[in-house]
């Protein structure tokens, strides 16, 4: 995986805003990103399903080559040497109410890179994380809250292996490729968070989140070794915005992996903004020095989101950029305290819920 900063089950909305999220998240995603924001939840919110798929640009440009791939015909895969193919699949669901949330996610990451022309093999990375999450928040004052998540994570893989051509040619799904990775384990993690909002125009909000505090290690359940641990991730963010009839706007900045001295500052910084209009959300941001763009289309309980972004695989921004694309479809329901169905008036997420 090189120097990529792995973060699981990332929101497509967040990626469209350059990865910035913790100071502005206000829906069920608060459970997964910033449990202190559960103190600002309104009513009862059900994320029935959120399914996402992502690939990199090489996977798109070489899809015909891969479809015609024949392990017995060298001419069918010559153009793949040195190219990294990446795919991701993610699903999550959850429920939140004021001060409480529970959810589940599963995330697959797979990358392939053909190397060694004398004896061709795919350098293959496979990782599947599945987790149950229980979160809560406590309001210290009207505008200041703290939160905590408890997570039970099942991890499968998490390392690189050289796989033969026929193995990859016959691998038609994430699980088929995953069968070549034996190491599985279970770990228990904790997230800690605090959030403060100033009761002034634009609702400036500061958030501090410590995900996987102290690191989350795994106990081996199968294979020869336990999967690699999840390193801790300390993040700080600042966001603001306004809510007017027919239009919402939010913007913010976030720094992640603050305790990791081996990560250059440029890879830690994320800036983003979102303009929410009736039926559509438009997003843009800068992540690790690269531009990202996103759009969301909303119709009743259905939400379709898409993003184009760049992941830095090298040590510093600008070294090894990988262009990626992802799309997600989610279904959610919300009810007020009287159990009456509520919608968002055509706007995906109203900022007044954060105040």
The separation between the first and the last C-alpha atoms of the chain, rounded to the nearest angstrom, is: 40
Q: Please write the tens of the pLDDT for every residue from 199-236.
A: 998 999 999 999 999 999 999 999 999 999 999 999 99
CA distance 309 to 294: 8
Predicted local distance difference test score (pLDDT) of residue 70:
67
> What pLDDT digit, counting tens, does each position of 130-146 carry?
999 999 999 999 999 99
Note the pLDDT tens digit of each residue in 324-348: 999 999 999 988 876 677 765 444 4
In a domain, 3, yes or no: no
Q: Give the pLDDT mean for 297-319.
A: 93
pLDDT-based confidence at residue 114 (cuts at 50, 70, 90) = confident
Please state, in angstroms and rounded to a whole number, the distance separating the CA atoms of residues 79 and 88: 23
pLDDT at 350 over 70: no
pLDDT of 258 higher than 90: yes
More confident residue, 122 or 325: 325
Output 339 or 18, whichever has higher pLDDT.
18
| CA neighbours closer than 13 Å in the CB half-sphere of residue 103 | 30
CB-CB neighbours of 211 under 10 Å: 27
Whether 194 is in a domain gets the answer yes
Average pLDDT over residues 10-31: 95
Whether residue 122 is predicted with pLDDT greater than 70 in this model: the reply is: yes
- At residue 259 the predicted structure's pLDDT band, cuts being 50, 70 and 90, is very high
Structural domain includes residue 5: no
Mean pLDDT of 294-306: 95
Q: How far apart are CA 321 and CA 328, in angstroms?
A: 23
Count of domains observed in the chain:
1
Domain that holds residue 74: 12-354
Q: What is the pLDDT of residue 64?
A: 67
**Domain for residue 6, yes or no?**
no
Which CATH number goes with the domain that contains 216? 2.40.160.40
| 7, part of any domain | no
4 assigned to some structural domain: no
Higher-confidence residue of 332 and 1: namely 332
Q: Mean of the per-residue pLDDT values for the chain?
A: 89
Q: What is the rounded average pLDDT of the residues 186-190?
A: 98
């Amino acid at each position: 995986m090189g120097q990529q900063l792995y973060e699981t089950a990332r929101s497509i909305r967040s990626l469209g805003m350059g990865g910035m999220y913790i100071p502005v998240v206000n829906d069920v995603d608060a459970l997964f990103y910033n449990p202190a924001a559960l103190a600002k939840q309104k009513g009862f919110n059900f994320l029935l399903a959120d399914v996402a798929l992502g690939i990199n640009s090489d996977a798109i440009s070489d899809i015909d080559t891969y479809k015609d791939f024949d392990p017995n015909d060298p001419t069918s895969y010559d153009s793949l040497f040195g190219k990294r193919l990446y795919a991701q699949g993610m699903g999550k669901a959850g429920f939140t109410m004021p001060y409480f949330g529970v959810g589940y996610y599963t995330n697959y990451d797979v990358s392939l890179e053909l190397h060694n022309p004398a004896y061709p093999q795919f350098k293959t990375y496979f990782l599947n994380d599945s987790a149950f999450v229980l979160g809560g928040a406590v309001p210290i004052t009207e505008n200041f809250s703290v939160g905590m998540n408890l997570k039970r994570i099942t991890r499968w893989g998490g390392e690189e292996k050289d796989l033969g051509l026929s193995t990859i040619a016959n691998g038609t799904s994430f699980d088929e490729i995953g069968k070549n990775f034996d190491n599985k384990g279970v770990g228990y993690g904790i997230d800690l968070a605090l959030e403060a909002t100033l009761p002034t125009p634009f609702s400036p909000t500061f958030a501090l989140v410590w995900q996987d505090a102290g690191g989350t290690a795994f106990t081996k359940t199968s294979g020869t070794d336990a999967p690699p641990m999840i390193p801790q991730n300390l993040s700080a963010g600042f966001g603001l915005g306004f809510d007017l009839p027919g239009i919402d706007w939010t913007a913010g900045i976030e720094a992640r992996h603050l305790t990791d001295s081996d990560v250059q500052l440029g890879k830690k910084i994320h800036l983003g903004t979102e303009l929410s209009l009736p039926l559509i959300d438009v997003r843009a941001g800068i992540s690790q020095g690269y531009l990202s763009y996103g759009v969301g289309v909303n119709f009743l309980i259905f939400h379709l989101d898409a993003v184009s972004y760049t992941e830095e695989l090298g040590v510093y921004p600008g070294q090894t950029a990988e262009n990626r694309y992802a799309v997600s479809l989610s279904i959610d329901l919300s009810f007020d305290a009287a159990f009456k169905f509520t919608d968002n008036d055509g706007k995906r997420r109203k900022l007044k819920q954060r105040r």
